[in-house]
Amino acid sequence: MRAIDLSTVTWRKSSYSNPDGGQCIEVSPDLPPLVPVRDSKDPHRPALVFPAAAWAAFVDAVKGGELPAV
């Protein structure tokens, strides 16, 4: 797997993140068809990168309350 350079992407905090800096993620729309995701509290750690279709399916499942309990 090749490394993806994320040094120039723009990050956007999730609209579901709490404004007090709690459990927050940031995503970048700059690399279609990929969606990089990182922890906003520790942005220098590596980001996870998902195929856009898989990320969209995950977000839809979360919105619909369809994720199984872990």
Establish if 7 belongs to a structural domain.
Answer: no
| Residue 2 included in any domain | no
The answer to whether residue 27 sits within a structural domain is: yes
In the predicted structure, residue 39 carries a pLDDT above the cut 70: yes
Domain membership of residue 42 (yes or no) is: yes
Cα four-point dihedral sign 12, 17, 22, 24:
negative
Question: Which range marks the domain in which residue 36 is found?
Answer: 12-63
The pLDDT of residue 32? 92
Domain-located, residue 5 = no
Banded model confidence at residue 6, pLDDT cuts 50, 70, 90: very high
Residue 16 within a domain: yes
DSSP 46: P
Tokens of 30: 């700059």
Distance CA 39, CA 46 (A): 9
- Say how many domains are in the chain: 1
49 — pLDDT class (breaks 50, 70, 90): very high
